Structure 1
């Protein structure tokens, strides 16, 4: 512990470098595995939201019928894929594999992050490593699933069906489609880490539950703007995406309050 406290800035940078190296190796390892599973990654996962029978479309269709309408039912998504660049498909394969590698390796990345910051934590806090990794990974994977099953199909359905004129053919570049899927999934996964981010910001003394409550209305505006960015420009999609983010914000307030309470308790015990 004493040696850790006496580490210079360059020593910390060196330690961080090795954490990043190990994390990168893990991502690359899983990326290679994903690369070799091309058919499953693309045909079963990536291109599934193009199918009108995708589970999300069927859910919204059944839901609309339950309320006496069928406006959310779709028979087809009127666009096709095309590849215009010589190396476009290979490039898409590479970047999709890396994205899959990052998602699968996320728990290990979180573990490496925890090992880097743990020397600056209390002994009781270090014992919470397993809980931290499980909760962080769980939130991330829930966010990824939310992005894949909610944000992606909403975007694909709206943008893939939208047309300014019947004279325009909907031939979508494969890179454009996969970029949409990739950004929707990763953005949602990282957004769902909001409670974890708030936990550390509270530990650093940068925010308080009072601050979060005071600026709740401002946060609502930011959430709506964020929902507008990652979803199609229709109000239903934005509300669907905004609701879980607002719930995460309220959870963050509770987490911040718990952290503050524990910090004050430790200060009294040490006084």
Structure 2
């Protein structure tokens, strides 16, 4: 590798380091700002469960010695990362945008914004719709005489799994659009596979939700609606001629 080739590589690595450092500092600042309220944040998070318990005090337990500290700590760290996601995506965009063609940039910013909004929407949908139904099912499913005393660490892990499952499920329109944009499939081909995709949504709902038809339907129907939204957005794609087109290196955030 020549010295001329090494210099741009080093410059890119330095830029990547700086952007990663900025992202870490933002996450750290958010974490430190929220950690004082960590216990309150946990109580807000588990509210869909706590309102269903006959007696909140003593119904949720901590089986680990360090769980009363580590569980709110983990929650606060995850929340800091989630809140910092738009800033981190902005840093990713600033790093990769100089190497994109102009037609690629035309789609990149709307995709970044829409993917962030959809991910947060999936989390809100899970918190306000799915968790009350799931916890309602679990609190009523046990046999008589069994005390329902969930561990706070298990509750957090369950809620985070549901959040990320629905957050990523709500990314279906973006994934559909990108598959069509990249040429992996076409709108016509997706239209022909609608019955299989509809069935697949219910299979996914069966795997990631509690074993009742209501919860499965609550995930499956939005997933299919989001797929149709992605197909509709994909109809806007027009393949531009890229011959002679060069990446725009002047547009760097």
TM-score band (shorter)?
A: 0.7 to 0.9
User: How do residues 20-35 of structure 1 correspond to structure 2 at under 5 angstroms?
Assistant: 20-35=20-35
- State how many pairs are aligned: 238
Distance verdict in 2 for CA 1:169–1:30, change over 3 Å? same
In the alignment, which residue of structure 2 is the partner of 1:232?
A: 210
Q: Structure 2: where are the runs of 5+ without partners?
A: 246-253
Distance verdict in 2 for CA 1:243–1:38, change over 3 Å? same
Q: Tell me the C-alpha RMSD between the 2 structures.
A: 3.1
User: How do residues 27-176 of structure 1 correspond to structure 2 at under 5 angstroms?
Assistant: 27-43=27-43, 45-52=44-51, 76-78=52-54, 80-123=59-102, 125-126=104-105, 131-163=110-142, 165-176=143-154
In the alignment, which residue of structure 2 is the partner of 1:220?
A: 198
**Counterpart Cα distance in 1 of 2:180 and 2:230:** 10
Following superposition, the deviation at residue 13 of structure 1 comes to 7.1
User: How do residues 235-246 of structure 1 correspond to structure 2 at under 5 angstroms?
Assistant: 235-246=213-224
Following superposition, the deviation at residue 124 of structure 1 comes to 5.0
Q: Deviations over 1:74-94 (max 9, x none)?
A: xx4357200011111222112
TM-score normalised over the length of structure 1? 0.75
Q: Structure 1: where are the runs of 5+ without partners?
A: 53-75
**Counterpart Cα distance in 1 of 2:203 and 2:11:** 41
Following superposition, the deviation at residue 168 of structure 1 comes to 2.3
Following superposition, the deviation at residue 127 of structure 1 comes to 5.7
Contact 2:177 2:231 in 1 (8 A): no
Distance verdict in 2 for CA 1:156–1:18, change over 3 Å? farther
170, 180, 185: which one pairs with 1:207?
185
Q: Deviations over 1:196-232 (max 9, x none)?
A: 2233333332232233223222222321122123321
**Counterpart Cα distance in 1 of 2:201 and 2:96:** 29
Asked which structure has the greater RCO (Cα within 8 Å, sep 6+), the reply is 2
Task: Give 4+ residue runs of structure 1 displaced > 6 Å after superposition.
Answer: 10-14, 268-271
Alignment partner of 1:81: what SS? coil
Contact 1:110 1:136 in 2 (8 A): no
TM-score normalised over the length of structure 2? 0.79
Greater Cα offset, 119-128 or 77-86: 119-128
Distance verdict in 2 for CA 1:16–1:40, change over 3 Å? same
Distance verdict in 2 for CA 1:268–1:21, change over 3 Å? closer
**Counterpart Cα distance in 2 of 1:149 and 1:192:** 15
Contact 1:147 1:185 in 2 (8 A): yes
Indicate yes or no: 2:236 matched with 1:258. yes
Following superposition, the deviation at residue 106 of structure 1 comes to 1.6
Contact 2:39 2:72 in 1 (8 A): no
Contact 1:78 1:160 in 2 (8 A): no
